[in-house]
Structure 1
Amino acid sequence: MTSVPSTDAWTYDDFTSGELDPARWAVMSIEGADGERHEYRDRNARVRTGDGRLRLTVHPFSRFHDSDPRQNNAKQMYRSVRRFPVPATGPLVFEVDMEVRTFGQIPYDLLDAYGTVNLFDLETGVVLNTAATNDTLYAVVERLALPGVARPEEHYIHRVVLDAPTEPGQRHRYAIAYEPGTQQARWYVDGRLLYWARLPVPVTGFTAGMALFSARDLTRYPRAEREHGQGATGSWGPWRITTSVR
């Protein structure tokens, strides 16, 4: 008889400490086009935690660049210190509540100001996000072009608007699941499956993240159209992880 895998579920962070736990979270950093390492940190960021969630406000955004998206797009981003391995069988599921309220956002522009729930794997370049603005929720699946990982021609990004109404500051429960047997990722909002995608490469682990972004195309929009005083508040928590166990 084939045994049915059981599941193990735990809370990664319930944000009850008065400060963000450095053993669980770090500010994301990455090497820019200039060869220097840059933190995804905005000088206008205000952070509060301790009441069951992390609350981050950046208003207005100040981290802008005219040629390098890595120094422009993410205003403030936190990544989990831990990388979560994908189980041999059964899904790996990340679940968290998020609220997003944007200020001065261009209505229905997905990239002007938004907050995210992030999963990413730097070993394959795979990125899975759920994003929210004042008026739209959407899923993102991307493969980054990373040296030694994925060639520029292997890069792609899809943004898919989800069939879930929202309002400024509205709380939703987001879940992203990855099934190793099928290489399929699934996006849920408030318990409803709203999108799925098959990934081009198998993933063996994910790092979790949470962030505020403004990422309008640098080649299409001059600084004056990208930096117009917009900002955002996001809150996240608690983070819950579910995995299959033998």
Structure 2
Amino acid sequence: MNDGVLYDELLGPGLDAARWEVLQFPLDDGGIWRLEEPEAKITVGGGTAEIRVDRYQRSHDTVQIFDNPKHLVATVDEFPVPRAGESVFSVQMAGHAIGGNPDDYRDAFFAFNVFDMRTATIFDHLVTGTRALVVHERLLVPGVVDPADAFTWLVEAPLSVGEIDTSRFHEYAVVLDPGARRVRWQVDGRLAHEARDVDVPESVRIGFGLFTLHQLRDGRSVSLRGQGMSGCWRELRVPA
């Protein structure tokens, strides 16, 4: 169990605007693209935040990183990652798929995000209706990341992690170790994946939300298939 600091007690009735914001990005035409579902139902209280979308509506036809996140909430604060020692970020999550294929991570999942947009570096845990996977990603952000350096890797470790009941809360942690150039993903204290020779960012934010991961096809999104997702998060902890 992560003995770090509880970032937010999640007492409700809504998310604290001083701590959380819907992630958004500027568009070339001067507009803003918000990672926000128009009919998302957000419930906060008793130490838990829930986001429920019965039917996804948000999509983007030309930018993959705008199409994937349907509703993404991130911390206002950034957290320094000391160059010596380990920094642990963790959460307890549960949830379920609404329609779609609960075995297919591309259709819908809820996630815990540890990220740095300056370097477009992503360390995530994602959970479908039946599966838990980890994500190591370098986003293809024009002007920030060369296309040759962008990647999205998903790893599933069913034998080392064991069976996950996604309707019950499990603890998901990301352990950053800049000195060793290493990142570890853990589920209930068990190693799910380890990445070596990683340029660990100097600071990160954390977030949570609902996603799809269908690749754009012929200049259009194919991520909307009548499906939705419900995710719950609690015990969001950051280093002391």
Is this contact kept in 2: 1:120–1:126, CA < 8 A?
yes
- Which consecutive unaligned segments of at least 5 residues does structure 1 have? 1-6
1:235 alignment partner in structure 2: 232
Change (3 A) 1:98 1:8: closer
Map 1:26-175; keep pairs closer than 5 Å.
26-32=21-27, 36-163=31-158, 164-175=162-173
- Partner SS state of residue 237, structure 1: strand
Q: Quickly say closer, same or farther: Cα 1:166–1:32, change in 2 above 3 A.
A: farther
Query: For 1:197 and 1:125, how far apart are their aligned partners in 2?
Result: 17
Shift of 1:34: 5.5
Deviation (angstroms), 1:119: 0.7
2:174 aligned counterpart, secondary structure: strand
Rounded to whole Å, the distance in 1 between the matches of 2:200 and 2:207 is 20
C-alpha distance in structure 2 between counterparts of 1:192 and 1:119, whole Å: 18
Moved more, 116-125 or 69-78: 69-78
With the length of structure 1 as denominator, give the TM-score of the two structures: 0.88
- The offset of 1:228, in angstroms, is 2.0
Which of these residues, 195, 200, 207, is aligned with residue 193 of structure 2?
A: 195
Q: Give the root-mean-square deviation of aligned CA atoms.
A: 2.1
Based on CA coordinates, which of the two structures has the bigger radius of gyration?
1
What's the offset of the Cα at 1:220? 7.3
**By how many angstroms is 1:72 displaced?**
1.9
Residues 134, 59 of structure 1: CA spacing in aligned structure 2 closer, same or farther, 3 A cutoff? same
Q: CA deviation at 1:32?
A: 4.3
Using structure 2 for the length normalisation, give the TM-score. Answer: 0.90
Match of 1:186 among 176, 181, 184: 184
* Corresponding residue number in structure 2 for 1:204: 202
Structure 2 segments unaligned to the other structure (5+ residues): none
Mapped to 2, the partners of 1:132 and 1:66 lie a distance apart of 25
Of 223, 227, 233, 1:226 maps to 223
Q: 1:190 to 1:13 in 2, by over 3 A?
A: same
1:19 is matched with which residue?
14
